[in-house]
Amino acid sequence: MNEQLFRQLIEQTASMAKDAKRVLFITGAGISADSGLPTYRGVSGLYNNQNTEEGISIESALSGSMFIENPDVTWKYISQIEKTCRGKSYNRGHEVIAEMESYFDQVCVLTQNIDGFHHQAGSSNVIDIHGHLYDLYCLSCDYQETVSDFSELPPTPRCPKCHNIIRPDVVLFEEVLSRKKMEALADEIQSGFDLVFSIGTTSVFPYIAQPVIIAHHNNIKSIEINPSNTRVSDLCRLKIPETAAKTLNTLWMMLSQ
């Protein structure tokens, strides 16, 4: 995209944002790309649609049923995913969303990402719908712990209290979403938004696309920031085909002048 067109789109976005009070940011892997994380849908992109060493799909390896039957396999691939996050941190895109809490009356972040970057950047109202990779809990007792990385964990970690297997607080394939988080999302949608951003997500999951669809049907302003076309591209009032960090930082500089 040439800089003149980019500037025009940012100016249009700023104009749409100036009167907004309640804003929803929906984010996917694309916002963490500037932190060095891969932009894959879910985790299957790590394996280029090939089977794992066990001869099964990555979705099967990272499923709830596999964790019950053979947690060693699930933990093996959870740990591989964690390596792609290890040593990485939030970027300017995450920071800007957190800083925008000083500009808008209410800011909510709905993220598919399990990296925890929105929390680290300072956002106060985050619905991490798929969980947080570094929050661990025991399946048998009340043990919970938040770790910084998995480098010192054994291949299949066990609870220091009861010695049963622990797991990250993430949604595995076949598992249902957290009822508490889905209710929090429903409450936010019920309260209403007057501006919705869809950033770096393909929006293939219905609960990720839903707020944009609602905005479209109710003539609420919506903006997509994504280099690629997605399921919701045609539903958004404005489309910016650029990276998240560059776009958000440029927008914030214009709004905060």
Q: What is the architecture, at CATH level 2, of domain 44-87+135-170?
A: 2-Layer Sandwich (3.30)
Percent of the chain with pLDDT over 70: 96
* Alpha-carbon span 232 to 180, nearest angstrom: 26
Buried b (16+ CB within 10 A) or exposed e, 236-248: bbebbbbbbbbbb
pLDDT at 44: 40
Active site residues: 130
pLDDT at 1: 82
Write the pLDDT tens digit of every residue in 147-159: 999 999 999 999 9
For the chain, the structural domain boundaries read 3-36+90-130+176-255, 44-87+135-170
Are residues 16 and 195 in contact, defined by beta-carbon separation less than 8 angstroms?
A: yes
Please, what CATH class does the domain formed by 3-36+90-130+176-255 belong to? alpha beta
Flag whether pLDDT at 38 surpasses 80: no
Work out the pLDDT band at 47, boundaries 50, 70, 90. low
Give the pLDDT mean for 176-202.
97
112-132 pLDDT, tens digit per residue, is 999 999 999 999 999 999 999
Question: For the whole model, what pTM was predicted?
Answer: 0.93
- In the predicted model, is pLDDT for residue 133 greater than 80? yes
